[in-house]
Amino acid sequence: MRSRTAEPAAVPKAFVAAVLAMALLGAVGTVPSIGVASTPPPTPVPPHGSPSPFPTALRTPTPSAVPPKLTSPSAVLEDLRTGQVLYAKKADLRRPIASITKIMTALVVLEEASPGEEVVVSAKAAGTRASQLGLVTGERISVRQLLYALLMQSANDAAVALAEHVGGSVAGFVELMNRKAEEIGIHRTHFVDPAGLEDRGNSTAKDVAAVVRAAYMEPLFARITRTKFHKIPAPSGRARRIQNRNILLWLYPGAIGAKTGFTTPAQHCLVAAADRAGVRLVAVALGSRGDDAAGVFDDGAALLNFGYEAFQQTVLVARGQTLGRVTVEGQRVDAVAGDELIKLVRKDQIPNIFRAFLPDTGLFLPVVAGQRVGEELVVIAGKRAGRVEAVAIRTVFRPTPRASPSPELGPLRTGSLAAALRLLAAVLKSLLDAFL
């Protein structure tokens, strides 16, 4: 669906105004492209909309390689692809996470149900309090549309409808959520509901980042969380128009998602993902206090700025790269990298990258092509950055042993037929001479 924007018709004037505003605020490092709204438009409240309840500008320091000062008490910045931690502030502190919970809800739904499945809305789902899509008891709606409501508008009624459809009940679905947390390998997280309204549930910034990485493996999750506007059919026949609550989609160049959240105990929470030149980062900020969400969006943008300013994606080891050689039973075995190692490296630490090839011991012939024969260790600024398995580039067999010549038959084994005949003639002649 084509996204609507709040830009006036005179694009050049709006573009210049956006550039000047960002220059004064120091919000971001680059300028959004022409044709992209620079601020969120009015929230779609009938009949004419109402002012956006979210900030329309970011208040962040000029991007630098210095870690930012945050208002959020717990935060983490990671490589969205690998989970490499670039910044952490009490990232293992357990906290309520409000509607950030819905990321796990979406992940479980995407793994357990087809987007085209039809959901019949129960009275319990329709009556769920707080943020709502406005579901009606008995309404029939697809899983896909409920996911849009869940992730864009943070609709609690959609969360309950999806939970009942997939888990049979809310309690059954929560069991699936906690089971999925164990599969991911996060151990400081406990869910008690699919919407995040119950603040007895808790997680950590680090655990949330792990859930987000798993969710981004689902193409539909990525598509929904970068969507600004969407229309959802309603029983009345008039479509329900929803708008993404993540204002970084408007204010931060490269933003691609993912989710906001707020309850009084959890305070303002944010997961912000961005992609610049193929480098994907995810920032998680939990517990920012304030009368509005401005602080948490500033924190998310500041973390992303730090990541892009201070780090550079670096190929430390390329797949197939020659690493060294190993001697096995006197035979040379050439070793190459069996995988690649790509890391985000602090720009000031790039000169301090060291690599060492460590051959395995106890090897014996034959060595088969692709067999592990050692590893390449990478150290950056005195800390281990990773290792890659070294494998044999080709198969090396044990050499065929040569037969030792027999003292009695040596000439026969090594000489020609003519030499053998001459030897036989000489023996016969010596025998005849003995009788003469």
Q: Catalytic positions, please?
A: 99, 102, 154
Cβ 287 vs Cβ 100: under 8 Å:
no
Residues in the chain: 436
Cβ 194 vs Cβ 159: under 8 Å:
yes
Give Cβ neighbours of residue 393 (< 8 Å, ≥ 6 apart): 322, 334, 335, 336, 369
Angle at 7 between CA 6 and CA 9, to 5 degrees: 130
Angle at 339 between CA 336 and CA 343, to 5 degrees: 120
Query: What burial class does residue 43 get, using C-beta atoms within 10 Å of its C-beta: 0-12 exposed, 13-18 middle, 19+ buried?
Result: middle
Query: What burial class does residue 430 get, using C-beta atoms within 10 Å of its C-beta: 0-12 exposed, 13-18 middle, 19+ buried?
Result: exposed
Cβ 353 vs Cβ 317: under 8 Å:
no
Give Cβ neighbours of residue 20 (< 8 Å, ≥ 6 apart): none
Give Cβ neighbours of residue 187 (< 8 Å, ≥ 6 apart): 207
Beta bridge partners of 75: 89, 285
